[in-house]
Amino acid sequence: MQADAQSLAAEPVDARTQETLHRTARPYMHPYLAGFGLGLVLLAAFVIMGRGLGASGAFSSLVAVGADAIAPAHARANAFYAEYLGDGTVNPLMDWLVFEVLGVFVGGFLSGVLAGRVRTGVERGPLISKGMRLFYAFVGGGLMGIGAKLARGCTSGQALTGGAMLNVGSWAFMMCVFAGAYATAYFIRRQWQ
Amino acid sequence: MKRIFENLRPTHKAGVLVGILGFIATFAGSPYQGSQFTIDAQELARVVEATTDHVNPEELADWIIQGKTDFRLIDLRTAQEYGEYHIPGAENTGLTALPDAGLQKTEKIVLYSEGGIHSAQAWFLLKAKGYLAVYMLFGGLGGWKDEVLFPALADNPTPAQTVRFGRMKEVSKFFGGAPRTGASGPAQTPSYTLPKVEIPQSVEASSARAPKKKKEGC
Amino acid sequence: MNAPFYKFGLFGDNVSLIVAFFIGIGFGFFLERAGFGSARKLTAQFYFTDLTVFKVMFTAIITAMLGLFYLSWMGLVDLSLVYLTPTYLLPQVAGGIILGVGFVVGGYCPGTSCVAVSTGKLDGVVYLLGVIAGIVVFGELFPLLGDFYTATPMGQITLPKLLNVPYGLVVFLVSLLAVGGFAGATWVEKKMASRKGEQPL
């Protein structure tokens, strides 16, 4: 009974039907179970590597390498990029987070395939066009990139890792993420509802 | 009570378990117990006797010349003394600032002071905190001057000593020093001026180089 | 037991990269299991209809927190060797707010967007491009940031140290917070569902 959600999203559907479709088409793992599994992965990182998880750092390395390829002098003079480029003895892409993020792609794909959830498309609410949604995705991503670098991490690194380690900055960060998100949710509810 | 627990849904059981674990944690004490390093006096004494806690000035000179970056060199003297002269690549950290100096417990650390007293004290301090690879420069800065900067040949040198002196002559030039010459040899207290801090440029520059690649964090 | 293994030299940098890959697989796997490859599920959190984000996040936090606490209490893990990101309060608060806005606007966070990409979502791809663009903007403007980036440094500090209470006490309070939060979340979800049901078609 796999509903073709993509074609249905093209026309406005009432809220209750949308929710029913949502439920039957995707049987997710119980949140506590998934959270427990995630927690064990994080714990494994602590015990094996003495560090936590992360995501944004990998993209910083990517950007730094790109900057170095396009304008090496500028990149090395910039304190931010230089931090990810290092002193040249190690390839910046041979980085723990880069490999970890590659694993995230693979793991997500694996789980999606096993659950029949791999499908091309654009996730959006029924009241918004694909174009607008992609625009918002780009802008949101941009904000995320800036916010993550300011805060030295994103939800994976700061909230999960720092949260488990009772890091002061991470908890402050986490609360601000929720605050900022809830505050903005009302204003762009058209995108999702 | 047990029956109530058994009749709870699995998620509620998990919640109760979490609550209990958290409650016990309150009274469990510090989780840093795993990192308390018990000072095994015998072990430390053995290390001292075997002089595996030392690094010779010659060795250090070699490392610096080869441009090795796998160790941290700490100068324990005052900022003024450091400013006058320091071994190239050394960082200036006083004894009290040592625990906060951002030293990793698993990285190689070489300590030196004027002679050997402060570096020995710092060595104990770091070993007690569980630092795994701490070494003292044998003879301190005095030893560095005597062996590396201004090496001298003994009065009746063995062949091995002559060979060594030949090598140290080149090494001393690298660091801006000069081998001691003169009939009286090492017995004479040389009057020399310490080489300027800026030498050798390549080594100094490489230690103030681009930051090491960010390894931790997100 | 000498853990963290890497910090005790059990294996080198190259093996650590392989470890990273497998840990990443686990990470991505459970993210997708929870449904976080879907922006709608993620953002439903902020409309109170589906609080999975909160449940998963906090279950993960207390699992890892309790695990880390007890393992290090038993001396099996050296907690002081586990990397604690230094705290810079002001930039982290600012970054958090910006990130929160970006979360709802974009619909993902960097980790979940990777999962979205690998399950075929185009908006995930565009989102990642946005993240890269954002980092470029940040990098270019970095010199202008000046001291703000390192403002209010507090060093490596944990909540127990800040509040000057036993570590275990904070563990307990966080556990209570989480469990209480779960109960509250379930209640909220039920309320929202019943309210939706009452709406006329």
Question: Which is it for the CA torsion A158, A160, A163, A164, positive or negative?
Answer: negative
**Token duo for residue C110:** 């960097």
- In this prediction, residue A91 carries a pLDDT of 86
Q: Could B34 and C77 be called an inter-chain contact, meaning their C-beta atoms sit closer than 8 Å? A: yes
Which of A7-11, A97-101, A185-189, B97-101 is least confident? Answer: A7-11
Q: Which amino acid is at C28?
A: G
Return the amino acid letter for A61: S
Nearest CA in chain A to C6: A49
CB C71 within 8 A of CB C3: yes
Of A68-82, A139-153, C113-127, C174-188, the one with minimum mean pLDDT is A68-82
Residue found by looking up tokens 């966070």 in the block: C109
pLDDT, residue B185, reads 41
Sheet (strand B134-137) strand order? B54-55, B134-137, B108-112, B71-75, B90-92
Across A37-46, A111-120, C17-26, least confident range: A111-120
Tens-digit pLDDT profile for residues C107-153: 999 999 999 999 999 999 999 999 999 999 999 999 888 788 888 88
Beta pairing partners, C155: C87
Q: Tell me whether B211 touches chain C (CB under 8 Å).
A: no
ipTM of the complex: 0.93
Shortest CB distance from B34 goes to which of C9, C75, C176?
A: C75
- Return the pLDDT at B82: 86
Residue from the list A28, A37, A133 with its beta carbon closest to the beta carbon of C35: A28
Cβ–Cβ below 8 Å for A99 and C122 = no
- At residue A142 the predicted structure's pLDDT band, cuts being 50, 70 and 90, is very high
Shortest Cα–Cα distance, C184 to chain B (Å): 13
**CB-CB under 8 Å, B213 with A85:** yes
Residue A99 pLDDT more than 50? Answer: yes
CA nearest B15 in A: which residue? A32
Q: Do B18 and C178 touch (CB under 8 A)?
A: yes
Position A7 scores a pLDDT of 42
pLDDT at residue A13 above 70?
A: no
Segments making up each domain of chain A, as ranges: 127-193
Task: For residue C64, give the nearest of A42, A96, A176 by CB distance.
Answer: A42
Spell out the per-residue pLDDT of chain C, length 201, in tens.
677 888 777 888 889 999 999 999 999 999 999 999 988 899 989 988 889 999 999 999 999 999 999 998 888 888 888 888 889 999 999 999 999 999 999 999 999 999 999 999 999 999 999 999 999 999 999 988 878 888 888 888 999 999 999 999 999 999 999 999 999 999 999 888 887 765 554
The segments of chain B whose pLDDT lies below 70 read: 1, 4-8, 33-40, 100, 102, 181-215
Q: B51: left (phi > 0), else alpha (psi -120 to 50), else beta?
A: left
- Would you call B69 and A89 a contact, using CB atoms and an 8 Å cutoff? yes
The alpha-carbon gap from A8 to the nearest alpha carbon of chain C, in Å, equals 15
B210 shares contact with chain C (CB less than 8 Å): no
CB pairs under 8 A between A and B: 52
* pLDDT score at B132: 77
* pLDDT at res. B205: 42
B interface with A, Cβ–Cβ below 8 Å = 11, 14, 69, 209-218
- Give the residue with greater pLDDT, B167 vs A138: A138
* pLDDT at residue B186 in the model: 44
pLDDT of residue B164: 85
Q: What is the pLDDT, as a whole number, of residue A5?
A: 45
- Using alpha carbons only, what angle is made at residue B6 by residues B5 and B9, rounded to the nearest 5 degrees? 85
Provide the 3-class DSSP secondary structure of residue B186: helix
Report pLDDT for C17.
94
Spell C18-41 as b/e; 16+ CB within 10 A means b: ebbbbbbbbbbbbbbbbbbbbbbb
Look at the domain B36-202 and name its fold: Oxidized Rhodanese; domain 1 (3.40.250)
Question: Which chains are within 8 Å of A by 3+ CB pairs?
Answer: B, C
Average pLDDT over residues A70-78: 88
Local confidence band at A1 (pLDDT 50, 70, 90 cut-offs): very low
Contact C168 B27 (CB under 8 A): yes
Interface test with B, best of C175, C182, C187 (most B CBs within 10 A): C175
Cβ of C92 within 8 Å of Cβ of A150? The answer is: yes
C-alpha separations of C136 from A45, B28, C104, C181 in Å: 29, 46, 21, 37
Question: What chain C residue is nearest to A192 in terms of C-alpha separation?
Answer: C40
How confident is the model at residue A147, as a pLDDT?
Answer: 94
